Structure 1
Amino acid sequence: MAASAAFYDAVLAPLGGGRLMDFGSVIGYGIAPKPDFWLGPRDAGDGFRESHIAFTAPDRAAVREFFRIAVDAGAEILHEPRVWPEYHAGYYGAFVRDPDGNNVEAVCHIPE
């Protein structure tokens, strides 16, 4: 939990998000006034199942800053920031692996 909380505290800042609620073992992230992403310990189920979590960035610079902070924090690079025309012409995204092994993306849908 500590490593994941530190990761999301850092990488969500350039996207305009952050920690909004903290109940110790469960943390709510998002853009005020309410969290829309929750982090908590896994206490049920067997094994690991990767999730793909995508956060909307306000612009391409925020995608690049998300990526820089994530890599500086030790995240595995999945895909460096770039345009993904197979999704749509303005899709600009970067993908990293968080401390728990999930695919985390920052994406801007606004054409440059």
Structure 2
Amino acid sequence: MIDHFGINCSDWAKSQEFYDKVLGVLGYTRQMDVGVAVGYGSDGHPAFWIGDAPAGNVAGPNREVHIAFAAKDAAAVQAFFHTALALGAEPLHEPRLWPEYHDKYYGAFVRDPDGNNVEAVFHGGGPTG
């Protein structure tokens, strides 16, 4: 059900040190580092992300959470996006390939009623495969 999720951190250096060490003893390592976010996991799949809150201009005590739900195919990603919009969700990113993550990463992002960044992702490519 859950593909990955992320939290924002106010002290970027301290948070990186903390998660590098506490997740390291559990056998997890950095799988991706994109400068303002680090993804931890195993086997090449970052399942837990931390983000640099100040770099992302996140303000206030209620910082958004990011959660990505696994979709069975590209059509499900599209259905998720259009259903969310029909319910009044704010669109963040329409369904598309995200090659900066990997060449078959197909996802769509919306803001839920509480302001969280919610995504549906399929790891098998876009509508044509």
Q: What TM bracket, shorter-length normalisation?
A: 0.5 to 0.7
Listed one character per residue, the Cα deviations across residues 52-75 of structure 1 (whole Å, up to 9, x for unaligned) are 010010000000000000000000
| Residue matched to 1:101 | 115
Give 3-state SS (helix, strand or coil) of 2:75's partner.
helix
Give 3-state SS (helix, strand or coil) of 1:93's partner.
strand
Find 1:71's aligned residue among 85, 89, 96: 85
| Residue matched to 1:56 | 70
Find 1:85's aligned residue among 91, 99, 106: 99
Structure 1: unaligned runs, 5 residues or longer? 1-11, 13-45
Offset, 1:49 = 1.5
Offset, 1:47 = 2.6
Question: What is the aligned-residue identity percentage?
Answer: 66
* Paired AA for residue 93 in structure 1: G
Give 3-state SS (helix, strand or coil) of 1:68's partner.
helix
TM-score for the superposition, normalised by structure 1: 0.58
CA separation in 1, counterparts of 2:61 and 2:87? 25
Matched positions, count: 68
CA separation in 1, counterparts of 2:63 and 2:100? 26
Structure 2: unaligned runs, 5 residues or longer? 2-59
CA separation in 2, counterparts of 1:75 and 1:85? 25
CA RMSD of aligned residues (A): 1.6
Spell out structure 1 runs of 4+ moving beyond 4 A: none
Q: Residues 15-54 of structure 1: matches in 2 within 5 Å?
A: 47-54=61-68
